[in-house]
Amino acid sequence: MTERRTEARLSRLASAEALDRQPWPEHVNNGEEGDYPYVANYSKGLPHDEVGEVRPEAYNTLLRALATGRSEDFERIPLGRGVKLTNPQAGLAFELEGPDPQSLAVPPAPRIDSARNSAEAVELYWMALTRDIPFTEYDGHPLIAQAADELSRLSDYRAPKVDGRVTPATIFRGGTRGDLRGPFLSQFLLRDVQYGTLRIPQLHDTVRPDRDFLTDFDAWRAVQEGGSTPPIKRDHVNRRYLRNGRDMANYVHFDALYEAYLNAALILLDLNAPVDAGNPYRHSANQIGFGTYGPPHLLSLVTEVATRALKAMWFQKWYVHRRLRPEAFGGRIHAHLSGLRDYAMIDREVLDSEAVKLTYEKHGSYLLPQAFPEGSPTHPSYGSGHATVAGACVTVLKAWFDESWALPKPVVANAAGTALVPYTGGEALTVGGELDKVAANVATARNMGGVHWRSDFTESLLLGEAVGIGVLRDHVRVNHEDASFGLTRFDGRRVTI
């Protein structure tokens, strides 16, 4: 037993020493906080003035707590109307598995005076305007065509294009090959989930169409100060398959963050999908995996990376970037265009956009329409928790299964969301491609709700991937079998762990 005790200690030390040998990043933000104080950064939940800018003394109290890390200083942060801040101290936690939360970084976020930020805002306004259009009708819908045309003209819109143009087939999608192949929605958001003896069709509660929130300035300002709002009314009777942006936004309003990926794991296990070639039991003559390299190992692993990913991103959110939420930026646009305050630093492309003008015609304000009554949660925008969890969980799934395996009998939801019909596009929908797509779908759904930016999604996905790879490395180190994991990263590179 003494020998085992020593080996157990050495295995933990080996993992810690491997982490210690990794380069440690410099955490750099975009400088907005100094250039445009109290205007360009997250402040929701704190006291604000009549135009929606944070009270300087309140923001400085927040900065002091983030600088000292003392629990008593966090308790001194003043709130506006009572809604509490979401877990800023999570970014200071350590981890016992995978990379340390502060050993990973994301690049500086786009600034509010940049063309890239304008492009991301214009996309969000178009997402709000098109929330009720079924994905199956994108190809022939005039509003989608108008959105694609304007997005194509933006000078720094970093999203998938065909010959330099956004098309109805690429609009609002992620950038991997899997994202661009086949239907908009991943098979893992549509197929039945076999949960033990329960077979669960993925039919969701719905919400009223064409109803958006925080389009009135007084209501918007109250929510910036942490004012409470009534919960959204959900229809529990007329459930539907996911069919449009509003459905997707409603899904990620209430989901458990790892939910889609646990479902994907259960779907693949039910289909008896082949595992990765590095799994030691794939070709064993007399053993199967269980606690290691078998279904129980997978089902715990795909969920345990979620909180590790969140801790890494919470450090970035609160301690590095403090990016303002899109709803707050919409308030700046409204204040500027209405003459309430001069925000001349905002790039003109969003101020002059068709999407903002159409929003004003529809709602009577320039505010970014929100899918949720409360708007965004009370933590900074960059990066996205949903996207970071997506990157980590999907990385585990891509490493576990044979990514090249084609899913049998693919389906799409009809325009009403009442039934699944066969997908007849003819393209093979592979495990790897559909996993990349489900990560993008879930992350983009938060954007469709109006609470995140495109770069919140794209950069967070990569940070989550790094968390997933780090946890997988630790599992290979401490398990007895001679095993490996192979996967395709989101940028297309192959890696073996």
pLDDT at 14: 85
pLDDT above 90 for 15: no
Q: The tokens 């398990």 sit on which residue?
A: 479
What is residue 316's predicted lDDT score, i.e. its pLDDT?
98
pLDDT tops 90 at residue 355: yes
Helix H or strand E encompassing 422: strand 420-422
3-state secondary structure (DSSP) of residue 165: strand
* Per-residue pLDDT at 1 exceeds 80: no
**pLDDT computed for residue 2 by the predictor:** 84
Please say whether the beta carbons of 360 and 79 come within 8 A. no
Average pLDDT estimate for 337-352: 97
Q: What is the DSSP letter of 338?
A: T
Q: Given a cut of 90, is residue 485 above it in pLDDT?
A: yes
The position carrying tokens 């800018």 is 53
- pLDDT at res. 219: 97
pLDDT tens digits along 409-426: 999 999 999 999 999 988
Cis check: omega of the bond before 383, within 30 degrees of 0: yes
Tell me the two tokens of residue 388: 């970071």
Residue 21 has what pLDDT?
87
At 27-71, the pLDDT tens digits run: 999 999 999 999 999 999 999 999 999 999 999 999 999 999 999
pLDDT digits (tens, 9 = 90+) for 273-327: 999 999 999 999 999 999 999 999 999 999 999 999 999 999 999 999 999 999 9
Q: Supply the pLDDT for residue 156.
A: 98
- State both tokens at 25: 């990043």
- Return the closest-CA partner of residue 132 out of 350, 433, 362: 362
Amino acid at 227: G
The answer, yes or no, to whether residue 465 has pLDDT greater than 90, is yes
Is pLDDT at 449 greater than 90 in this prediction? Answer: yes
Quick one: pLDDT at residue 18? 84
Q: Which of 48, 204, 253, 386 is catalytic?
A: 386
Residue pLDDT, tens place only, 244-288: 999 999 999 999 999 999 999 999 999 999 999 999 999 999 999
What is the predicted pLDDT for the residue at 371? Answer: 98
Whether omega before 34 lies within 30 degrees of 0, making that bond cis, reads no
What was the pLDDT predicted at 22?
Answer: 85
User: Which residue in the list 48, 321, 334, 379 is annotated as catalytic?
Assistant: 379
Q: Is 379 a catalytic residue?
A: yes
Q: Phi/psi of residue 413, each to 5°? A: -85, 145
Q: Name the DSSP letter for residue 175.
A: S
433 and 257 in contact (C-beta within 8 Å)? no
Give per-residue pLDDT as tens, 160-196: 999 999 999 999 999 999 999 999 999 999 999 999 9
Q: What is the pLDDT of residue 188?
A: 98
The predicted model scores a pTM of 0.97
Predicted local confidence at residue 20, as pLDDT: 81
Instruction: Tell whether the model's pLDDT for residue 210 goes beyond 90.
Output: yes
The DSSP bridge pattern shows strands 193-195 and 494-496 to be: unpaired
pLDDT tens per residue across span 100-148: 999 999 999 999 999 999 999 999 999 999 999 999 999 999 999 999 9
Please name the residues in contact with 290: beta carbons below 8 A apart, sequence gap of 6 or more: 296, 297
